[in-house]
Every structure is written in C-alpha cells, then in structure tokens.
Structure 1
Amino acid sequence: MSNEVRELVLRTRSADAAVVLSAVGEVDMVSAPKLSSAVAEALSTGAPVLVIDLSEVGFFGSAGLSVLVEALEASAGRELRVVATAPVRRPVELTGLDELLDIYGTVEEALAGAE
C-alpha cells in the first residue's frame, strides 16, 4: 500500500451550455487553492451551468468543502452541479451541503440535469 499523495490534476472543457471542470487526485489544504482558482476561472466564462466533476477524487478534506461553498456563493444565478462518488459525497452529506448543492453520480447525468 502506497502513502503517495496524488497530485491534483484539473481539466476544463465545454459541453453545450455548460463548462465541465474535472478533478483527479486529492483535494486537501495544499491542493484546494488550485481547485478554487479553476472554479473561479470556469465561472468567469459566463456559462449558465458549471459541472464540477469530482468523481475521480480519492480524498476530499474540509478545504475542499470550503471550495464548494465558495463556488456556490460565486455562482450567482448560474447552475452549479457536482459529480461525486463516496470519497466526496460522504463529507458533503455529513456537513449538509447536499441540501444546497445538486449532486449527481455521473457527468452525463449532471449535463442532462437528471438526478
């Protein structure tokens, strides 16, 4: 078993009226500012929908939760959709953020707007 920390890799792409920001790796105190900057940049495009794909994130700490809260506050009238699997979904649900965010299982579901 490796203790190697997975560096956060971010990719952004357009999909119809949405911007999809995909993250791969771990979101912690060190990498959260990188994610925050990418979210701000994606929101600055003016796209009506931002999908934050966290399905390939293996660790999601409190700093990541803060990024989601900031994104929610900055989205101002745009739809914010989050794709999350267990490592992300669990802390989101424990903090009650799932009541404020639209959480999806896949990017395809998020783009379709289906829950």
Structure 2
Amino acid sequence: MTEAGTQAATLTLALAGELDVGTQATTSALIEKALNAAPRVLVLDLREVDFLGSTGLSVLIEAQRTAEARNTLICLVTNRRATLLPLELTGLTTMFPMFKTPEEAKRSAHVQREQARVVPRVGTDVRQ
C-alpha cells in the first residue's frame, strides 16, 4: 500500500489503492508513523490512489491537524481525477499545498522554507 523515503527534512509517503473506510486504520497508522519521524515536510503521494472516499478525506484532515501540532507541513501529490476531484469538491485543495510530482513538491519555495526553518529549543529566549 505504501512506500516511504526520506530526503533531508522531507519524508515522502506513497499511498496506493483505495482510501476509504476499509483502509482507514492502516492509512492512519502509516501517516502517524511518518509524522512520528518528525519531518519538517511530509509529502503524501496520492498518484496511485484509485478512490478517495469521505473517510479517506477525513484521514487527511486529521493528519493535517496532527501535523500542524507538530510543526510539520503536509503536501499532497496528485495528478488523477480520482483524488483531485474529491479534494476540489470539499475545498481541501486550500488546506494543503498541491503538486503533480514529489519532485515538484520538494523543489517548491514553500517547502524549501519549511525544511530550512529553525525552531528555537525549549527554554531558549528568542529575544537574545
């Protein structure tokens, strides 16, 4: 169902098949595992997803909430109607940066800024 690869502060998770109620638990667990690796950017590659149902959309929304709490940017890669149409109809294309290829996502200026962002350590006074 998936493959993962890392590059600097970016982790790519490729999903395939159907993202629906039948794959919800597995997909959520894979995304959670990827987020636990604490990447600056998580690229979810949906190019091999054949069906994106409402439950799959909910998984993406929950992933976005978790990622925001962990200061991780989630980007979606899709070039298929099966995934793009549900994302457009629900307005989720405004929630995620969208790209046609993982390479395009990694090259984007927005992602580059996230990868280079320095976060102060806990207890560090940023006014110094």
TM-score, with structure 1 as normaliser: 0.87
- Determine which of 50, 56, 60 is the counterpart of 2:42: 50
One-letter code aligned to 1:10: T
Q: Equivalent residue of 2:16, what SS?
A: strand
- Determine which of 40, 63, 77 is the counterpart of 1:83: 77
- Sequence identity (%): 35
Offset at residue 12 of structure 1 (A)? 1.2
Distance 1:28 1:100 in 2: 20
Unmatched 5+ stretches in structure 2:
111-128
The within-5 A match list for 1:57-68 is 57-68=49-60
Deviations 1:29-53 (A, max 9, x none): 1012211111111001111000000
Offset at residue 113 of structure 1 (A)? 2.0
Query: Which protein shows a greater Rg?
Result: 2
Q: Which has the higher strand share?
A: 1
Distance 1:103 1:83 in 2: 6
When the two chains are superposed, the root-mean-square deviation of aligned CA atoms in Å is 1.4
Distance 2:107 2:83 in 1: 21
User: Which of structure 1's runs of 4+ aligned residues deviate more than 4 A?
Assistant: none
Distance 1:113 1:39 in 2: 22
Q: Which has the higher helix share?
A: 2
Distance 1:59 1:100 in 2: 20
Distance 2:86 2:109 in 1: 22
